[in-house]
Amino acid sequence: MKVVIIGGVAGGATAAARIRRLDERADIVVFERSGYVSYANCGLPYYIGGVIGDPEALTLQTPESFFSRFRVDMRVRHEVTSIHPDRKTVRVRNLDTGESFEEGYDKLILSPGARPTQPRLPGVGLGKVFTLRTVEDTFRIKEHIGAHHPKSAVLAGGGFIGLELAENLRQLGMAVTIVQRPRQLMNPFDPDMAAFIHNEVRRHGIKLTLGRTVEGFEERGGGVDILLKDERPLHADMVVLAIGVTPDTALARDAGLKLGLKGSIVVNDRMETSVPDIYAVGDAVQVKHYVTGGDAVISLAGPANKQGRIIADNICGGDSRYAGSQGSSVIKVFDMTAAVTGINEAHGRKAGLDVDTVILSPMSHAGYYPGGRLMTMKVVFERETFRLLGAQIIGFEGVDKRIDVLASAIHGGMTAIELKDLDLAYAPPYSSAKDPVNMAGFMVENIAKGLVKQFHVEDVEKIPRDKSVTLLDVRTAEEYAKGHVEGFYNIPVDELRDRLKELEPGKRVYLICQSGLRSYIAARILEENGYEACHLAGGFRFYDAVMNDRGLIDSAAPCGMDQG
Ligand code: FAD
């Protein structure tokens, strides 16, 4: 059996190695357009920033090491220029010699990845306007910085790659601005959670120019003008375009393969394309979203590696199936970690789901053990069924661990209530006896049992201030004095039982505390005393972070009030 693979990095290299492990006799040829195989795309921004010092650390394997271990013929600087399914061949150009030849296959795997999205704007090709995808792109940026010592950079786009690059360039001492049309960075996060990311990057001196449309680039004064719609241009010594990625599927299209979203290759759960004996993997393919069941394009390394393994199994006579992607991802944002899995609240609404959320601010580990830090966790679930749909966490230590637990829970089809039952490891340096994930489950169970009702940050401005309801802040007088929501009156939770007579009977009470814990306790006291109470999800801490990032909330979508 002869297997030809187009693209020798995440999906392609994984498939090649697994095919060899399953079949000692297969003839495996990989064509890779760049000069490197199996390189660490995810490490590239950190090489630019100097966190990874040794360029060799970026290349996990070389064609030689791959050959000696797996007997795979890895041909770098070879570009496949066309696919001919009728005669089961691909046409290949050797980029060093210019020679072109045809190579036959029994099975063909497409792992061409995705290209940085290049808008058709004037100046996109300028020498100081970069993109980042390959090792070569990385060296180009690094060499430019070494030779010209740019003092400022504009990142057009604030997704994963833009944000990682922004941090790394900032750490090189450059003045960094992120500009983009969306009003929030990192769209896997809801706008309220993104506020924590915005606050962190601003705290490190990165300027955010959000909600602006870039219209082109012009060289000026040794740097680049970034032209904006209806605004004065920005100016920087260099620009990196990172507005997203587009599946690199021109070859597949020309060969008549069925394409889907964003021009991605349509595959079934065995990763087979619409054309017999051609498989596809990774950033180039359309997947089923594990949570919504809808079509999705999810460009991440984990799915690419798993899919490569599945293809190898199927080519070698097995029957492996890809269950779908749920977009679990994590990113370092200076001192913080931001992680997400499943769908967020906004995506849930767009998918037509009736979603609700809990927001909590637990400590990363037991409060009495030194070094614990707060994290902000938002768990999204379906209101009727309590099906767990997604989670977002932003904090310091322990964020990655909690998101992976939540990702596993989603994969296992658990409800958000069942999070309370997970038997998770605990010792004071690592967690609390009630782990944050358990805490989220307790909170959802309380909602399910009608023990607590919530309102959300976007509801705060809509609460009547006409004395028809009671607005109560149950933090200490000191906390209240430092900042509170206009119209809320202060009775600390520990004084509440003794001061109930200050609250008019028959009026619904809206409660706020710092994180949502004391307001929950207050709500229980009030409910037990005949009042109807609801409390602010996430508390003043969450409200304050979002308000500091004002203008981002989609006030058109109130939620939670109907539970109140
Ligand atoms: P790739 O790994 O991109 O490989 C595709 C290869 O195919 C390329 O090397 C390309 O040169 C080659 N190719 C394309 N067309 C041809 C052709 N016609 N002939 C020959 N060769 C061809 N994901 C995460 O999960 N976490 C991260 O932290 C993360 N960070 C990232 C940081 C950066 C800077 C980048 C660029 C990506 C990052 N990713 C991250 C995404 C992750 O790298 C991709 O999802 C993953 O590599 C996709 O695997 P793939 O095999 O589909 O494509």
Question: DSSP secondary structure string, 478-542?
Answer: HHHHH---TTPEE--HHHHGGGGGGSPTTS-EEEE-SSSHHHHHHHHHHHHTT--EEEETTHHHH
pLDDT of residue 552: 43
> What is the percent of the chain with per-residue pLDDT over 90, rounded to a whole number?
94
Q: What is the DSSP string of 343-402?
A: --HHHHHHTT--EEEEEE--BSS-TTSTT--B-EEEEEEETTT-BEEEEEEEESTTHHHH
The span from the CA of 374 to the CA of 84, in Å, is 56
307 near 315, Cβ under 8 Å?
Answer: no
pLDDT of residue 27 exceeding 50, the answer is yes
- Pocket residues: Cβ below 6 A from ligand 1: 6-7, 9-12, 31-34, 41-42, 44-45, 79-80, 111-113, 132-134, 160-161, 248, 251, 282-284, 299-302, 304, 329
> pLDDT tens digits for 318-360?
999 999 999 999 999 999 999 999 999 999 999 999 999 999 9
Q: How far apart are CA 12 and CA 336, in angstroms?
A: 32
Mean pLDDT of 484-500: 97
Is 316 a catalytic site residue?
no
- Three-state DSSP string of 45-56: HHHHCCCCCCHH
Residue with CA at minimum distance from ligand 1 atom 6: 7
Identify which of 41, 81, 257, 279 to mutate to test ligand 1's pocket (most ligand atoms within 8 A of the CB). 41
Index of the ligand 1 atom closest to the CA of residue 11: 51
Q: Span 227-241, mean pLDDT?
A: 96
Query: Which residue has the least CA distance to atom 1 on ligand 1?
Result: 113
- The stretch 178-186 carries a mean pLDDT of 95
CA distance 379 to 362: 13
Q: E strands, 190-293, where?
A: 207-210, 214-220, 223-228, 234-236, 238-241, 245-247, 265-266, 278-280, 285-288
d(CA 374, CA 335): 13
Q: Which atom of ligand 1 is nearest to 45's Cα?
A: 34
301 C-alpha to ligand 1 centroid (Å): 8
Residue nearest to atom 46 of ligand 1 (CA): 301
Ligand 1 midpoint to CA 299 (Å):
8
Over residues 67-90, the mean pLDDT reads: 97
pTM metric for this prediction:
0.94
Q: Name the percent of the chain lying above pLDDT 70.
A: 97
* DSSP state string for 316-341: TT-------B---EEEEETTEEEEEE
How far lies 101's CA from each of 80, 111, 242, 555, in Å?
A: 10, 20, 34, 59
State the Cα angle at 124 between 118 and 125, rounded to 5°.
110
Question: How many Å lie between the centroid of ligand 1 and the Cα of residue 41?
Answer: 6
Mean pLDDT, rounded, for 139-159: 96
Give the per-residue pLDDT at 550: 60
The active-site residue out of 42, 316, 513, 534 is 42
Q: Which helix (H) or strand (E) holds 146?
A: helix 135-148
- Ligand 1 atom with the smallest distance to the CA of 79 is 19
Q: What does the mean pLDDT of the chain come to?
A: 95
Give the pairing of strands 388-395 and 376-382.
antiparallel
**Ligand 1 centroid from CA 8, angstroms:** 9
Q: Give the confidence band of 59 by pLDDT, cuts at 50, 70, 90.
A: confident
CA 168 to chain centre: 18
State which ligand 1 atom lies nearest to the alpha carbon of 116. Answer: 36
Lowest mean pLDDT across 31-45, 80-94, 261-275: 31-45
Is the pLDDT confidence value at 558 over 50? no
At which residue do the structure tokens 């896997």 appear? Answer: 188
Contact (Cβ atoms closer than 8 angstroms) between residue 348 and residue 389: yes
How confident is the model over 153-166, as pLDDT tens digits? Answer: 999 999 999 999 99
Distance 247 CA to ligand 1 centre (A): 10
pLDDT for 263 beyond 90: yes
Residue 107 sits at φ, ψ, to 5 deg, of -130, 140
Nearest to 345 by CA among 379, 371, 374, 315: 379
Q: Whose CA is nearest to atom 18 of ligand 1?
A: 80
Q: Is the pLDDT of residue 564 over 50?
A: no
Q: Which residue among 80, 240, 300 is best mutated to probe the pocket of ligand 1, counting the most ligand atoms within 8 A of its Cβ?
A: 300
Q: What is the mean pLDDT of residues 144-159?
A: 97
Q: How many CA atoms lie within 13 A of 390 on its CB side?
A: 27
Cα(157)–Cα(187) distance, rounded to whole angstroms?
11
Tokens of 227: 């032209």
